Amino acid sequence: MIKPHGSEQLNPLYIRDEQRRAALMSEAERLPSLVLNSAAAANVVMLGGGYFNPLTGFMHLADALSVAETMHTTDGLFWPVPVLNLTSDSTVQVGDRLALRDPNVDGNPIIALMHVAGVDQLSEQHVESMAEQIFGTLDPEHPGVATFTSLGNIALSGPIDVLSFSYFQADFPNTFETAYEIREHIAQRGWETVVAFQTRNPMHLAHEELCRMAMERLNADGCIVHMLLGKLKPGDIPAEVRDASIRKMVELYFPPNSVMVSGYGFDMLYAGPREAVLHAVFRQNMGATHLIVGRDHAGVGDYYGPFDAQTIFDDRVPADALDIAIFKADHTAWSKKLDKVVMMREAPDHEKDDFIVLSGTKVRDMLGQGIAPPVEFSRPEVAQILMDYYQSIDS
């Protein structure tokens, strides 16, 4: 199986030994505590699950600035996005043992225990410099920029012991999985070549066919549809609706045991190219050998070029930085000429009107009115689940 990033073995930070976890939880209850912001809590979940291997905790300022500028930590580890615990709490000191509390669960239960190795004050220039390098813009309308610049100007760094996976296990018991659990499933299935498909949206026919194309062209043993389960921007479809629609598609339209449906607990960054590289890192950590990167991967609005998330792997990622390979995909759509879904770049004799392409706004309007998109765009069973959702919020 493909090695994890940066180490021979995966080192998840979740304390799986029940007795040790109980002892640490007991200790944490007696310690000073900090309620995290959602971004930091999501980082805890990803560190706990092994997705952020080989990191052992939150980065200090020097590492964060280096990662933002060069995509390497100060000691040379390739890493695309800073992993920070930002706060406005000025009472924390170096050497503190700190109970980290979950902002996304009622009562703010303890999610991790942290040894504070560093407390760094961020200047406005630090924050803006990192934001511009991560997101490619300082536009406050960009949802990632708006979040990042509001998290606080004190960075708490140091190792953590993760004691909980927040709400993800309770809310998504059949979908949320850690990187080490996915590795175990891949090994049990005997898969060697494994394609990962990232999604924060429901999957329409073009997405389904893109997974099928990648599997066929790579002679893959299987595909993992890996959906984001954390916080999104307003207007995005809730995770439980996406989960139901994707599972229905896989159940009806893929051969048994060829596709795994799974999810991870992270908040969307909307960082376009940088987030695509982060996706590659943690897909390697979960055991995938290939990641599909398509048009506008992890983007939002018009902040990124349609294929920036592909070219970054050629322009900014050193050849030896990652073991996972990128399957570069074009926009896929139904060809009226060929009577099937194709990648647009592979149909040079087609004009715009030869494809069935619907905007997201048009599709949402149709679903909200109880009108199923054409079968060349969406499977009817998937469309029904989405129609039920949109009509429930409009009623």
**What residues are annotated to the active site?**
200-201
Longest CA–CA span in the chain (Å) reads 69
CA dist list (Å): 251 to 59, 292, 350:
41, 21, 32
Q: Cα–Cα–Cα angle for 15, 20, 25, nearest 5°?
A: 80
Closest-CA residue to 214 (of 193, 232, 242, 234): 193
SS3 179: helix
Strands 57-58 and 332-335: unpaired
In whole angstroms, give the CA distance from residue 225 to residue 259.
Answer: 7
In whole angstroms, give the CA distance from residue 207 to residue 254.
Answer: 13
SS3 198: strand
In whole angstroms, give the CA distance from residue 254 to residue 233.
Answer: 30
Written as six digits, the tokens of 219 are: 């002679």
Closest-CA residue to 283 (of 326, 231, 242): 326
Written as six digits, the tokens of 385 are: 């689940």
With 0-12 / 13-18 / 19 or more C-beta atoms within 10 angstroms meaning exposed / middle / buried, residue 67 is buried
Q: Cα–Cα–Cα angle for 55, 57, 61, nearest 5°?
A: 95
306 within 8 A of 317, measured Cβ to Cβ: no
Closest-CA residue to 13 (of 228, 177, 163): 163
Tokens 């619907």 belong to: 358
Kind and range of the H or E run holding 271:
none
